[in-house]
Amino acid sequence: MSPIQKSFSERGTTRGQHSSMHQRGGYQRNVGPNGQRATARQQQQRKKRSCRFCDTKDVYIDYKNEKRLQRFISEQGKIIPRRITGTCARHQRQLVIAIKRARHLGLLAFVNDAVS
Amino acid sequence: MAQKQQIYETTFIVNASLDDAQIDAVIEKVKEVITKHNGEIMELVKWGRKRFAFPIKKKNNGFYVVCEFKSPGDLVARLERHFILEENIIRFLIIALDKKSLQARISGNDLLKQVTSTTSSTSGSPLITSQSDDLDPIAPLSQNEF
């Protein structure tokens, strides 16, 4: 087998893998990295989350309310993605702006040191 | 020359190592800049000394002031310039308030309540220099604490 042929065949295999991944749906919901289903408990928890701001019918997220914003940043100071907090897209957009304003004013940290 | 007026909110941080009188002087100057250029101060609240989440200009504390004002747009640039030139102002933020944020924002008075509720009775003297409890168009909604 010539090297060119070999590389062709290799490419073929990788392509095949890719297409099989697409068939599986790539990032399918409720399926773990090894294809296992989420447990019933996990599914229940996932259903439970809802946007905190929608629940209280907030139309504006204030940067001055640092205590409230603190719930939406990690210990390191990162903004927590909405797939974890359950915030809706509209409110997450507002939240991100509020957090950044608060950071500018020194109300929230940009970075917190890792807990020793 | 009926210019379009908009409501803005500015938060600025004054050097906390100054005396109260000096801080007041800095705030007075800001008020002067606003009123001089056709601005109207709706609410001005001294939030008080607060610790920063991280050092800013090698300082760990700052005196926060929240001010709401109504003015034409050209004031913002002037005010920004004033903030930059004033050495005792460490940071500032000027934002325009739209209808929604006017309804739901935490007004300075609410902030003050929070502060006084957490650190009860720091001083008997009222810090509020609000000139417009009745001018306030919409009563701010009370925020639920989570």
pLDDT digits (tens, 9 = 90+) for B44-93: 888 889 999 999 999 999 999 999 999 998 999 999 999 999 999 999 99
CA angle (B75 as vertex; B72, B78 as ends), nearest 5? 165
Q: A43 is in which domain, residue-wise? A: 1-48
- Alpha carbon distance B16, B89 (integer Å): 9
Q: Which residue has the higher pLDDT, B44 or B2?
A: B44
**ipTM reported for the complex surpasses 0.85:** no
Strand partners for B9: B68, B95
Residues of A in contact with B93 (CB under 8 A): 63, 101, 104-105
Sheet holding B59-72, edge to edge: B40-56, B59-72, B5-15, B89-96
Residues of A in contact with B64 (CB under 8 A): 105
Question: Are A73 and A91 within one domain?
Answer: yes
Q: How far is B61 from chain A (nearest CA, A)?
A: 9
Q: How far is B1 from chain A (nearest CA, A)?
A: 33
Question: Are A113 and A61 within one domain?
Answer: yes
Amino acid present at B16: A
What pLDDT does B66 receive? 92
Question: Are A62 and A112 within one domain?
Answer: yes
What pLDDT does A50 receive? 82
- Alpha carbon distance B2, B74 (integer Å): 13
What pLDDT does A24 receive? 44
B46 contacts B139 by C-beta, under 8 angstroms: no
Look at A109 and B105 and tell me if their CB atoms are within 8 Å. Answer: no
Question: Are A32 and A6 within one domain?
Answer: yes
Question: Are A59 and A100 within one domain?
Answer: yes
Question: Are A38 and A8 within one domain?
Answer: yes
Neighbours of A15 (CB within 10 A): 10
Residues of B in contact with A71 (CB under 8 A): 146
Domain count, chain A: 2
Residues of B in contact with A64 (CB under 8 A): 11, 66, 106, 111
Q: Is the pLDDT of residue B134 over 70?
A: no
Question: Are A86 and A98 within one domain?
Answer: yes
B57 Cβ contact partners less than 8 Å away, ≥ 6 residues apart: B90
Helical pair B74-85 and B20-36, crossing angle rounded to 10 deg: 150
Q: Is B145 on the interface with A (CB under 8 A)?
A: yes
What pLDDT does B65 receive? 93
- Alpha carbon distance B135, B52 (integer Å): 32
| Beta-strand pair B59-72/B5-15 | antiparallel
Residues of B in contact with A103 (CB under 8 A): 53
Domain boundaries, chain B: 5-117
Q: Is the pLDDT of residue B128 over 70?
A: no
What pLDDT does A40 receive? 65
DSSP H helices in A1-116: 3-24, 40-48, 52-55, 66-70, 82-85, 89-104
What pLDDT does A32 receive? 57
Which chain B residue lies closest to A109 (C-alpha atoms)? Answer: B53
Look at B54 and A106 and tell me if their CB atoms are within 8 Å. Answer: yes
pTM: 0.66
Please, which pLDDT band fits residue A19 given cuts at 50, 70 and 90? very low
Q: Is the pLDDT of residue B116 over 70?
A: no
Q: Is the pLDDT of residue A31 over 60?
A: no
Question: Are A7 and A43 within one domain?
Answer: yes
Q: Is the pLDDT of residue B129 over 80?
A: no
CATH number of the structural domain B5-117: 3.30.70.60
Q: Which residue has the higher pLDDT, B127 or B111?
A: B111
Question: What torsion, rounded to 10 degrees, do the Cα atoms B45, B48, B50, B52 define?
Answer: 50
Q: Distances from the Cα of B132 to the Cαs of B55, B109, B139, in angstroms?
A: 34, 11, 12
Average pLDDT, chain B: 78
Question: Are A28 and A42 within one domain?
Answer: yes
Provide the percentage of residues in chain A whose pLDDT is more than 90. 22
What pLDDT does B34 receive? 92
- Alpha carbon distance B18, B26 (integer Å): 10
Question: Are A40 and A67 within one domain?
Answer: no
Provide the percentage of residues in chain A whose pLDDT is more than 70. 55
Look at B66 and A110 and tell me if their CB atoms are within 8 Å. Answer: no
Question: Are A91 and A55 within one domain?
Answer: yes
Q: Which range (A74-83, B15-24, B105-114) has the least confidence?
A: B105-114
Q: Mutating which of B45, B52, B63 best tests the A interface, going by the most A Cβ atoms within 10 A?
A: B52
Q: Give the mean pLDDT of A59-64.
A: 86
Q: Measure the N-to-C terminal CA separation of chain B; round to a whole number of Å.
A: 47
Q: Is the pLDDT of residue A105 over 80?
A: yes
Question: Are A43 and A54 within one domain?
Answer: no
Q: Is the pLDDT of residue A3 over 80?
A: no
